[in-house]
Every structure is written in structure tokens, then in C-alpha cells.
Structure 1
Amino acid sequence: MGSKKGSSLGEAQIALLDEDGASSIRIALKEDEEEELGRRVWVESKKLWHIAGPSMIGRVTNYAILVITQAFAGHLGELELAAVAIVINVIVGFDIGFMLGMASALETLCGQAFGAKKPYMLGVYLQRGWIVLFMFCVLLLPVFVFASPILKFLGQPSEIAELCGVLALWLIPLHFSFALQFPLWRFLQSQLKAWVIAWMCVIALVVHIFVSWLLVYKFEFGVIGTAAAVNISWWVLNLGLFIYTVTGACPLTWTGFSFQAFNGLWDFVKLSFASGVMLCLENWYYRILLLLTGNLENSKIAVDALAICMSINGWEMMIPLSFFAATGVRVANELGGGNGKGAKFATIVAVVTSLIIGIFISTFIALFHTQIGYLFSTSKPVLQQVNNLSLLLVFTILLNSVQPVLSGVAVGSGWQSYVAYINLGCYYIVGLPLGILLGWVFHVGVMGIWAGMIFGGTAIQTLILAFITTRCNWETEAEKANLHVRKWEAQIQPQN
């Protein structure tokens, strides 16, 4: 009996030890998994920030050129501020939206080619980008030439529209600079040379501040001086990037000018056009908000206040747009290399990182909502209206911390044409009519227009993109990317 009892006790102890051992193994495995996950997040974050960090510096300083231009104009007078705000946010914003969108095709092509270890294809893609964007610069030139009658037709006050027309003519050199700069930017980013862009943008910003002071205050050229300063600083940036690229800094990807850039040009135009439509539908959305506000009563104050909010939002938007670019490159690199799981993981890390930053900035705006307008104006009615709009600005920043990153996934995966339809439906079939309904039918004014466009358009579009991304079969996307690279490679022969 004692023996059996001892035996039973021994078996119980062994079972307990076995259970403890299994539990320890499970704990150890869980710890190993957590360590492995932490290591993967750290590695992916470094890759992401290697692109997003310098891109953020570049985009913030680049956009600061336009913000500082509005700040100089704001201290010249309310009319000058309204005119510069409309030209930059509507005319130039319309232009940037389309040209930037068309250039984003290079993020898909260059990113996937670089990931597939085909660096010689990038230089040909760059030249195709220059050709296509220059052609569209010529096609879009009437927007600048006839800016004044266009704005009058859209309901802007005659006095503001006339001054906008003069400024738009002065900004034609800026318009053509986009055809050179935007492809160069994507070409360098795709091969992880984003720091070059960042340093050149900082130099251009310093030049802009000095030239703006010189032309506006020293030589007293007034509002025309602000436009001339933008042209000068932007071309300093362009020439710096161009000289860096063609003088031997990119030996594997730039092998000189080639007639191969004209091969397969139509296919490139189609992809670029789809990319342009995708981003410009989104970019124009908030420009239309500014135009609609111009038709309200006391429109000068409303336009000035909304322009200030849009400038703050646009400046902050450079951060999620940096993650847009970085996510596009990372997803394209992983898909081009045949790693679908890597593309999915890069997407998750990018969305979470951008959202955390968005929450922080939204909180900052909410805490200092009464002070943010002083950077642009000292007019009490304008500052009061900015304070009233600050809550909507907070929601806009929060939504925009996620939506551009998901658009970056679309660009890296080559989904531009599908997302263009989503943007069209969400923004112009749902959001815009809802904004008009709240603004005029329910007489909520500029707050109603903006609120309807945020919650009716941007929020729904973000939810749809999130659904598509979570339901994506990444291994299938990697196979598609491989087929695309081989298709485009057939049109390009390596040069010695």
C-alpha cells in the first residue's frame, strides 16, 4: 500500500514537473516570439525611418517655402494674404496635386525595380517621368494664364481674382519646375538616397527666407516679390538635385540619357495618369473647400481663416505624406523582391507609427488652438474664426495620419486606378454634396462645409482603404509585381 502510495505521489510529482516544464517552455517560446516581434519591428522601423525621416525634413522645409510666402503676404494686408492663399492653395495646389500624382507612378516602378535588383531600369524610368510631366506641364499652362477669369467664374470676388491672375503668371516658372523635381525626388527615394533631398530642401528654404526678405522688404516689390522668391528657391532645389544625379552620384541607376526613355511611353503615360487622377482627386478636394468658402458671406475673413487652417494642415500633412512615400517605397521594394509578408509587415508598422504621431500633433493643436493663428495674421476677426475652426483641424489631422499611409500602400502595390474610383466616390459623390448641404441648406457656413467633407469623404475613404488593405493577399501581389517588372524590363536593355 505504502509502495503504491509512494508511487502515486512520485507520478504526481513527475506530472507536476512535466506540467511546470511545459509551462516554462510555453513562457520561453512566448518570450522568444515577443523578442522576435520586437526585433522585426525595430528592423522595419529603421528601414521606414531611413526613408521617412529625411523625406519628412524635405517635405516640411519644402512646404515651408509656401507657408512662409503666405506669412510674408499676410503682413502686407488682408487682400494680399487672400490672393496668395488662393493662388497657392487652389492654382498651385491643383497643379501639384496632378503632377505629384503622375510622378507617384515612379514610386511603383522604381521601387519594384530596385527591390528586384534591376537598378539600370531606374534611370530610364526617370527620363520617362521627365518627358511625360513636361508634356502635361504644357497642357496645364492655361490654368496659370487664365487664372483670373477662372476664379471669377468660380465665384471669387473680382478684386481677389485680379490679383490672383497676376500672381499666377509670375508662378509659371514654379509650374515647370515640378516636371523636373518630382521625378528626381522619387528616383532618389527609391534607391534610399532621401538624405540628399532633405539637405537640398533645407538649403532652398534658407535661400527662400533671405530672398523673400530682400525682395519684399528691402526692394519693396510687395506681393510680386513673394512670387519671385518662390521661383528662385524652388529652382535652386531642382538644380541641386539634378546636378547630384547626373554627375556620378548614382552610377548604377543613372547611366546617361537614353532613347529607351521613349520606348513603352504610352504604357507609362497610362500608369502616370491613373496615379495623377488618384492623388489629384484627393488633393483638389480641400482646394474646393477653399473655393466654396469664397462664396460665403464675409468671404474675405472666412477665406483668410480657412487658408490659415489649411496651411497648418498642409504643413503637418508633410509628415504623413513622408510615410506615404516611405510606405510606397517599402511595399514596392518588398513586392518587387517577392516578399509578400514583408510588404504586409511594412504596412502595419507604417500605419501604427504615423497614427501615434498624428495623435500627438492633434493633441498639441487642441491645447494651443487659441494661439495657432498668430503666425499668419494679427486681425482679430480672422483669429477668432481660426479658433472656431480648430476642432475640425484636429479631426482632419487625425484622419490624415492614417489615410495617406494607406494610399502609399496602394502606390507601392500599383492599385492607383482602383483607388482613383474610391476617391471619386467618397470625395465627390458623398463628401462634397454633404458639405454643400451643411454649409448652405442648414446655414452652418464654413464649419458645415468642412465637417461634411471630412466625415462624409475622408473618413469613409480611410475605412474603405483599410478594409482593402486588411483583405489583401500579399503573396499574390508579390507575384503580380514580379510579372510587372519583367514586362517593363523587356522594354529596357542594360547600358554599359
Structure 2
Amino acid sequence: MEESGVQDRLLGSDNQEEDLKRRILAELKILWRIAFPAILTRICSFGLFIVTQLFMGHISELDLSAYALVQTILLRFANGILLGMACALETLCGQAFGAKQYHMMGIYMQRSWVVLTVVTLLLVPFFVFATPLLKLLGQTDELSDRAGVIALWFIPILFYFIFNFTLQMYLQAQLKNAIIGWLAAGSFVLHVILSWVMVDKLNWGIPGAMGSMIISSWLSIIGELAYVFGGWCPQTWGGFSMKAFSELWAVVKLSVSSGVMLCLELWYNSVLLLFAGFMKDATISVAGFSICLNITAWALMISLGFLTAAIVRVSNELGRGNAKAAKFAIKVVFSTSLAIGLVFVVVFLSLGHVISYAFTSSVAVAKVVSSLSGLLAITVLLNSIQPVFNGVAIGAGWQSVGAYVNIGCYYVIGIPLGVTLAYAADLGVNGIWIGMTCGVAAQTIVLLCITGRTNWDKQVEKTSARLDGWFSGETNNTSTSQNS
């Protein structure tokens, strides 16, 4: 009897291990179905800006620094607001899909278009008056004047963001984001070819580089709209509806919470770059710092693919009412992203002294980048962890909590520490980067603790209540219109 009991326990243990392996493999399959197209999309979309920067860098150091200033301060400012507010759609579409409220997804997206278009129109003056704004922020006249010219070319990109963010979030929530990945890849290849022709062969300078980016980015949006309008999303897209103009205040409130959370994070690097512009040899400091940011951003694009996977998996499972599946998905996404991050750490430690020459031919700028190679590796490791927990927060609808965490970690810890080390301790750009890294580390630890202590069964209840409230509102509106 005892031997039989031991055998049963051993068999039970083996069965549990096999069941765990099957669950992990099944989760990994879903994970990569979401993450790979998201990674491809983010790398290629971000690649549009990097390719443009590469061509700017080989025109002149002034053009490189001016472009970096606009991209990292003004564009990141606008991108933070629009992407952050669009993340409300990510929460709503993901949870609605999990709850099988498919028809609501198209309506949610149209409401986001209305809200984001209004916000974009309010952002345009920042780019029109970029030169006086940058001078007011303490940048040199020469750098501000050139940046003002480049900023005007970014206005069509602002409107591109509206559709890029919302279409991606709408499609990925229903596991149809492969089309976005392939369109983004095609757009990237086209941009490389057009930039080479317009800048190198035709010698059109700034108009050639920026015009190529505008054409390439908007062609991908046209493809995505054709996919949605052409009948490939029959359950979730029922055509344009006047309901897009109803319940807008609820959308605005959730969008503002999402916007504040991401803005505080995306603006963090912009503020630090601004301080780099106050140093001696500002042109060299800004160029070197921006190259470091863009190098880490390439690796971050992969981690952001896992952020997308975390959002979709958590929101879908909460919408279905499955707390255990949500927790299991978080563990799998975190482990996978961390493993890839460790690989990138090795790469950056090995190639940190030569990688900068892909962006510039300036030896002075390359030395700045090389001096930061060790800190780059640490940042890459943190960036492989932190986006996953951001994704969990967005998927669960914790945007308000995330905003408070970002204020404390970035603006109370990171920026003051970076400025102190840069100026008081005379560490220059290295001091700014150390402060930035400490802020990211603090945020990662706090979000990890919040995720670990969360009662996911209660999160399911909150999600159900939110969806029922939105759905009831639609039902009431429909009934009212029918009765009238």
C-alpha cells in the first residue's frame, strides 16, 4: 500500500510537470503571436526616426543635434501625450474582447480618434513656434533656429500618431496585429530607399530626409485602414457610428489617466536631454546623449513588444474573469523578456565602443557614447523588466497608480539625482545617465511590489464592473434612440 501511494504521488508529480510544460508552451505560443508582430512594428516604426537621424548625422553635426532636440523634446512631448491617451483604448479593447463585447471595440476606437484629434490640434502650435520655445528653454540660437525648421516637418507625423497608435491597439487586442507588423516592415524598407535617393543621390538635405519619413509612415496607415474597412474585422468593425460622439467624457477621463502615466515616463528622458544641452560643448553632449537614448531605444522596442503582450494577455484574461490565467501570463512574459534583455547586455558591453559610428562620423561624439557603454548595459537590463510591469498596469487599468509611481521615481528621485551628479559632482553626461537609471530602477521595484501584492480576483470584479457600466451606457443610449 505504501509503495502504491508513493507511485501515485510520483505519477501525480510527473503529470503536474507535464501539465505545467504544456501550459508554458501554450502561453508562449500566444505570447509570441502577440509579441513578435508588436516587436516588428515598434522596431520598424522607431526605425523610421533612426534612419532619418542617420542621414541627418551625415549631413552635419548641427542638423543631427537639431533633429535630436526636436525628436527627443518636442516630439517625445507630443508622443507621450498621444500614446498615453491612446492607451485607454488598449485597456478597453483588450477587456472588451475578453468579455466578448466585440461590437464595442470599433466604437471605442472611433471615440479615441475624436479625442486624440482634438488634442493633436492643440499640440501643433508647439511645433510651429519651436524656435522661440527652445530659446526660452535655454538652447543656443543656432541650434534653435535649425530645430525650428525641422519641427515644421514633424506636424504630419503628429496626425500619423493618431491612427498608428489606435489601429495598433484595436487590432492587437483581437490578435490581428500581424498585418501591422508586415506593413511597418514594408514602410521601413521604403523609407531607407527613399532616404538614400532623396538625401544621398538628389542631395535634398532636410526636405529629403523628412519628406521620406512622412511618405513612408502614412503609406502604412493607409494599408491598416484598408484592412479594417475592407471587411477583415467583421465582428469588431461595424462602420462609422454617431456613438463615437457619445460617452466621450468617460473616454477623456480614462485617457487623461493613461496620458499622465506615460507622459511622465516618456518626458523623463527629454528633461534629462534638456539639461545635457546646458553643458559645455552642448552640441556634442546633446548628440552623444541622444545617440545613447536611441541605442537603448532599439533594445527597448523588443521589450515594448512584451509590454504589448502583457497588456493584451492581462486585459483579455481579466475580461474573461480568469484571474489565475492572468497571473500565469505575467510570469511567462516577465521571464521571456528578462532572458532576451540579458542577451542584449552582453552585446552592448562587447560593442559599446564602436556602435556609435553607425550614427556619426564625429570622434568627439563617439567618445561620449563609449564612456556610457557600461551604464547602457544596465539600462538595457532594466528596460527588459520595467515595460512588462507597465503592461500589467495598463492591462489591469491601473493608469492612475502608474502616474503616481512615475512622479515619485522619475521626478523626485531620477532627475534631481542626475542633475546633482552631472553638475555638483562634475560627472557630466554620465551623471545624468546614472540619475536616469536610478529612476528606472526605482520604478521597476515599486511596480514589481504592486504586481506581487495584487489580489487578482478583486481585479476581475473591478474589470467586470467597468465593462458592465460602459456596456449598460451603450444599451441605454440605444434604447433611448429607438424609443425616440
| Same fold, judged at TM 0.5 (above) | yes
Query: Is 2:239 aligned against 1:259?
Result: no
Gaps of 5+ in 1: 1-17
Match of 1:491, SS? helix
> What is the match of residue 472 of structure 1?
454
The one-letter code matched in structure 2 to 1:491 is G
Q: How does 1:73-472 map to 2 (within 5 A)?
A: 73-455=56-438, 457-472=439-454
The one-letter code matched in structure 2 to 1:65 is L
The one-letter code matched in structure 2 to 1:331 is V
Q: CA deviation at 1:37?
A: 1.1
> Which whole-Å CA distance do the structure 2 matches of 1:355 and 1:150 have between them?
40
Q: CA deviation at 1:28?
A: 2.0
Q: How does 1:41-56 map to 2 (within 5 A)?
A: 41-56=24-39
Q: For the Cα contact (< 8 Å) 1:290–1:306, is it kept in 2?
A: yes
Q: How does 1:32-47 map to 2 (within 5 A)?
A: 32-47=15-30
Match of 2:474, SS? coil
Match of 2:280, SS? coil
> Which whole-Å CA distance do the structure 1 matches of 2:149 and 2:266 have between them?
24
What whole-Å deviation, never above 9, does each CA across 1:182-219 have from its counterpart, x for those lacking one? 11110111110110000110111122112212221232
> Which whole-Å CA distance do the structure 1 matches of 2:251 and 2:430 have between them?
41
> What is the match of residue 50 of structure 2?
67
Equivalenced residues, count: 477
Match of 1:97, SS? helix
What whole-Å deviation, never above 9, does each CA across 1:442-483 have from its counterpart, x for those lacking one? 11111011101211x111111010000000111110111111
Q: CA deviation at 1:307?
A: 1.2
Moved more, 217-226 or 359-368: 217-226
Moved more, 223-232 or 168-177: 223-232
Gaps of 5+ in 2: 480-484
Q: For the Cα contact (< 8 Å) 1:171–1:228, is it kept in 2?
A: no
Match of 1:402, SS? helix
Q: What is the Cα-based RMSD across aligned positions, in Å? A: 1.3
Q: For the Cα contact (< 8 Å) 1:211–1:229, is it kept in 2?
A: yes
Q: CA deviation at 1:240?
A: 1.0
> Which whole-Å CA distance do the structure 2 matches of 1:363 and 1:481 have between them?
40
Q: CA deviation at 1:364?
A: 0.8
The one-letter code matched in structure 2 to 1:487 is G
> Which whole-Å CA distance do the structure 1 matches of 2:340 and 2:163 have between them?
31
> Which whole-Å CA distance do the structure 2 matches of 1:153 and 1:394 have between them?
34
> Which whole-Å CA distance do the structure 2 matches of 1:491 and 1:362 have between them?
49
Q: CA deviation at 1:224?
A: 2.6
Q: CA deviation at 1:430?
A: 1.4
Counterpart of 1:491 (choices 462, 473, 483) is 473
> Which whole-Å CA distance do the structure 2 matches of 1:98 and 1:316 have between them?
22
The one-letter code matched in structure 2 to 1:469 is T
> Which whole-Å CA distance do the structure 2 matches of 1:379 and 1:324 have between them?
35
> Which whole-Å CA distance do the structure 2 matches of 1:148 and 1:23 have between them?
78
Counterpart of 1:481 (choices 457, 463, 468) is 463
Moved more, 23-32 or 407-416: 23-32
Q: For the Cα contact (< 8 Å) 1:116–1:337, is it kept in 2?
A: yes
Match of 1:490, SS? helix
> What is the match of residue 10 of structure 1?
none
Q: Percent identity over the alignment?
A: 45
Q: Which has the larger radius of gyration?
A: 1
| TM-score, normalised by the number of residues in structure 1 | 0.94
Q: For the Cα contact (< 8 Å) 1:263–1:491, is it kept in 2?
A: no
What whole-Å deviation, never above 9, does each CA across 1:44-89 have from its counterpart, x for those lacking one? 1111111001111111111111111000111111111111111122
Q: CA deviation at 1:19?
A: 4.0
